[in-house]
Amino acid sequence: MAEGCTSSNNNLTYAGPVPKQQPYDLYRFIENHKATADGLCKNVRQVMTFFDSKIRTAKDAGRKTLRH
């Protein structure tokens, strides 16, 4: 899984219906949803990075304004 997105460190869970099938089908189901979770984590990280940079820019602008 993507870094920072393991189910152990940020409790990614799938709330939808779990198929009542053979273990292999269940394994494949979980693997498919892990890929979905990875994609979501990457999107969330991109959004967080974007806002971090905006916040940093705003803080710098604020400091410059306070100096004058």
pLDDT of 68 higher than 80 = no
* Assessment of whether the complete model's pTM goes beyond 0.85: no
Which sequence spans correspond to the domains of the chain? 7-67
Alpha helices in the chain (DSSP H): 7-10, 23-67
Neighbouring CB atoms inside 10 A of 21's CB total 11
Q: Looking at residue 3, what is its pLDDT?
A: 47
Q: Please indicate whether residue 67 or residue 47 has the higher confidence score (pLDDT).
A: 47
Q: Looking at residue 12, what is its pLDDT?
A: 54
Which residues lie below 8 Å from residue 37, measured CB to CB, with a gap of 6+? 1, 5, 7, 12, 14
Digit-coded pLDDT (tens) for 1-60 = 444 444 554 455 555 666 565 667 777 877 877 878 778 878 888 888 888 888 888 888
